[in-house]
């Protein structure tokens, strides 16, 4: 073979390698789970991925922005109605990226169809060629499921305003024979490594993975040669600053014409902010929005758990039902805003009196619940009497001035006792304990308010009145013939 022939063959080999690399990039481009477009410096669409074409064809997204050669900025300018404001923001942000004023830009926006509500996250990152910004990559990620989940969990009471959710995406590939690979600059930044022409070796990457997730990542990459379908998984990394980031990864195997595995490629998405939102929603689902204490659902869950512990270990548990006296008069006189201040004041006052092991929750309106752990009847009564005195002494500091405040408490204690099998039992279920405490609260209201009325119950005993505190601070045995209150004025 002559030198000229050798050079020709070499050139052909490079062309084939370049073509195959383009095919790989195209596969990653089209396999991305969102819609992606590449714009030139003037904002004209150079290329779109399959997801963009499919979504545009099926849904008419952004009007004419579905074919190459279209002026993306002109299309945004042509938006009307409720979409115009978001379109203007998108155009302005993309121009900032092209001009180098922003490293990246993101925007959450609605794109509702006649039959369903949908939201997307727009992300724009610069396309850098030969050291200069030559265009911009625009992606649209669907975030509808998250938006709907947020609205459902907080029942439209707490709207999380996620104006600019960060959703960084990085691509990667690796040759299984040579071990050579490629990472996008975005992926280097996500992992916390300086960008490089070649991807780091697996050991370097694995050191960045959270220790608890290394076995998972190692297992996924270890079985990639046998992969039949693309695989999705989540893992955490430790940033150089010591923070934890959550990543969602998709990986797909590529085979040659003979079916032999030759490489894998995929994408990683930073979902740290989404994970933080999910954790926040979990907290919100268990918290009363106004007072910051446990809500009714969480309080009842804890009551069930405490009764189970009582039954298992033979302990006492006391339940107090607390209601603000004359609360309706406060609302009628000063307004509901001041009434809300009173509720917050009460929560703070009681929170300062209770032990760390006790549980305090808002059951609804001006009614609250107390779980006094490891307390026998006498201890529970004394604790509730201290609470009633503390509320009366503290009052409520509001924008309308300092208001007098008292509460009534109905108290029931579940006793441990011996069952037929020799174990321990509380002698009642949570519903029964709630009912007895509520009846005691009715009595406290009927007997003059600002007091504690207590019922006791144990295994093999019928619940009944035990003692109640009089306004003067003394105790009197309950009159067994005294009629129960049939109507409680929650005022």
Tell me how many domains the chain contains: 3
**Across-strand partners of 244?**
238
Q: CB of 57 within 8 A of CB of 65?
A: no
Range of the domain at 441: 288-477
Measure the CA–CA gap between 142 and 282, rounded to whole angstroms: 22
Residues 299 and 319 in one domain: yes
Residues 367 and 436 in one domain: yes
The residue assigned the tokens 């035990």 is: 466
- Greatest mean pLDDT among 66-70, 137-141, 191-195, 336-340: 336-340
Residues 400 and 349 in one domain: yes
Q: What is the mean pLDDT of residues 131-141?
A: 89
Choose the final residue of a domain: 233, 252, 279.
279
Per DSSP bridges, beta strands 169-175 and 244-255 are unpaired
Question: At 295, which CATH number?
Answer: 3.30.70.270
Calculate the alpha carbon distances from 122 to 104, 276, 453, 467 in Å: 11, 20, 60, 65
- Greatest mean pLDDT among 32-41, 127-136, 424-433, 479-488: 127-136
Question: Angle of helix 296-313 relative to helix 430-446, nearest 10 degrees?
Answer: 110
> Is 266 among the domain residues?
yes
Answer yes or no: is pLDDT of 61 > 60.
Answer: no
Structure tokens at 87: 């379109």
Answer yes or no: is pLDDT of 482 > 90.
Answer: no
Q: CB of 441 within 8 A of CB of 430?
A: no
Residues 319 and 435 in one domain: yes
Residues 272 and 293 in one domain: no
Calculate the alpha carbon distances from 320 to 11, 135, 149, 455 in Å: 85, 66, 34, 10
Q: What is the structure's pLDDT at 368?
A: 95
> Is 490 among the domain residues?
no
> Is 2 among the domain residues?
no
Residues 442 and 332 in one domain: yes
Question: At 243, which CATH number?
Answer: 3.30.450.20
- Greatest mean pLDDT among 109-113, 413-417, 478-482: 109-113
Containing 15, the helix (H) or strand (E) segment is helix 3-31
Measure the CA–CA gap between 316 and 416, rounded to whole angstroms: 6
Which residues lie below 8 Å from residue 406, measured CB to CB, with a gap of 6+? 324, 325, 326, 388, 391, 392, 449, 450
Calculate the alpha carbon distances from 472 to 390, 454, 469, 482 in Å: 15, 16, 8, 20
Measure the CA–CA gap between 289 and 157, rounded to whole angstroms: 8
Residues 294 and 273 in one domain: no
Residues 221 and 200 in one domain: yes
Q: Which of 215-229, 291-305, 440-454, 462-476 has the lowest mean pLDDT?
A: 462-476
Answer yes or no: is pLDDT of 22 > 60.
Answer: yes
Q: What is the pLDDT of residues 421-465, one digit of tens each?
A: 344 445 567 888 899 999 999 999 999 999 999 985 544 444 444
Q: What is the pLDDT of residues 295-347, one digit of tens each?
A: 999 999 999 888 888 878 878 889 999 999 999 999 999 999 999 999 999 99
Residues 215 and 311 in one domain: no
- Per 3-state DSSP, the chain is made up of helix, strand and coil in percentages (nearest 5) of 40, 30, 35
Per DSSP bridges, beta strands 452-457 and 407-414 are parallel
Residues 185 and 126 in one domain: no
Q: What is the structure's pLDDT at 440?
A: 93
> Is 161 among the domain residues?
no
The mean pLDDT of the chain is: 79
Q: What is the structure's pLDDT at 347?
A: 93
> Is 14 among the domain residues?
no
Answer yes or no: is pLDDT of 198 > 60.
Answer: yes
Q: What is the structure's pLDDT at 383?
A: 93
Q: What is the structure's pLDDT at 8?
A: 55
Residues 176 and 206 in one domain: yes
Q: What is the mean pLDDT of residues 40-50?
A: 88
Q: Which of 62-66, 77-81, 185-189, 244-248 has the lowest mean pLDDT?
A: 62-66
Residues 99 and 244 in one domain: no
Question: What residue spans of 71-201 are helical by DSSP H?
Answer: 72-77, 83-98, 144-154, 185-191
Q: What is the structure's pLDDT at 332?
A: 93
């Amino acid at each position: 073979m002559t030198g000229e022939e050798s050079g020709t063959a070499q050139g052909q080999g490079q062309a084939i390698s370049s073509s195959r690399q383009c095919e790989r990039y195209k596969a990653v481009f089209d396999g991305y789970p969102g819609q992606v477009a590449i714009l030139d410096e003037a904002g004209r669409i150079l290329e779109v991925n399959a997801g963009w074409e499919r979504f545009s064809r099926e849904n008419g997204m952004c009007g004419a922005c579905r074919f190459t050669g279209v002026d993306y900025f002109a299309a945004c300018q042509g938006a009307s109605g409720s979409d115009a404001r978001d379109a203007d923001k998108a155009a302005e942000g993309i121009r900032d990226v092209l001009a180098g004023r922003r490293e990246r830009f993101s925007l959450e926006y609605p794109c509702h169809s006649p039959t369903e509500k949908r939201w997307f996250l727009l992300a724009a990152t610069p396309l850098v060629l030969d050291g200069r910004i030559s265009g911009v990559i625009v992606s649209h990620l669907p975030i509808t499921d998250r938006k709907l989940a947020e609205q459902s969990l907080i029942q439209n009471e707490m709207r999380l305003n996620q104006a600019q959710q960060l959703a960084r995406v990085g691509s990667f590939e690796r040759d299984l024979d040579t071990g050579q690979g490629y990472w996008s600059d975005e992926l280097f930044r996500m992992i916390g490594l300086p960008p490089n022409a070649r991807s780091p070796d697996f050991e370097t990457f694995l050191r960045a993975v959270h220790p608890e997730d290394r076995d998972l990542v190692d297992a996924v990459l270890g079985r990639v040669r046998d992969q039949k379908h693309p695989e999705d998984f989540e893992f955490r990394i430790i940033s150089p600053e010591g923070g934890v980031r959550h990543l969602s990864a998709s990986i797909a195997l590529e085979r040659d014409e003979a079916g032999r595995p030759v490489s894998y490629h995929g994408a990683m998405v930073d979902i740290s902010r989404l994970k933080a939102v999910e954790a926040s929603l979990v907290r919100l689902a268990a918290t009363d929005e106004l007072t910051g204490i446990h809500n009714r659902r969480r309080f009842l869950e804890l009551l069930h758990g405490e009764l189970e512990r009582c039954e298992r270990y033979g302990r006492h548990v006391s339940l107090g039902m607390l209601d603000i006296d004359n609360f309706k008069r406060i609302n009628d006189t000063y307004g509901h805003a001041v009434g809300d201040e009173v509720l917050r004041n009460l929560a703070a006052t009681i929170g300062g009196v209770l032990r760390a092991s006790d549980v305090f929750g808002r059951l609804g309106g001006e009614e609250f619940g107390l779980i006094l752990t490891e307390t026998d009847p006498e201890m529970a009564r004394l604790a509730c009497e201290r609470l009633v005195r503390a509320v009366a002494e503290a009052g409520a500091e509001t924008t309308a001035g300092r208001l007098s405040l008292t509460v009534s408490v109905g108290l029931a204690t579940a006793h441990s006792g011996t069952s037929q099998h020799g174990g321990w039992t509380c002698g009642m279920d949570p519903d029964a304990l709630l009912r007895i405490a509520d009846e005691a609260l009715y009595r406290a209201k009927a007997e003059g308010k600002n007091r504690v009325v207590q019922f006791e119950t144990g295994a093999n005993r019928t619940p009944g009145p035990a003692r109640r505190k009089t306004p003067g601070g003394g105790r009197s045995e309950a009159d067994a013939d005294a009629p129960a209150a049939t109507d409680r004025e929650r005022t």
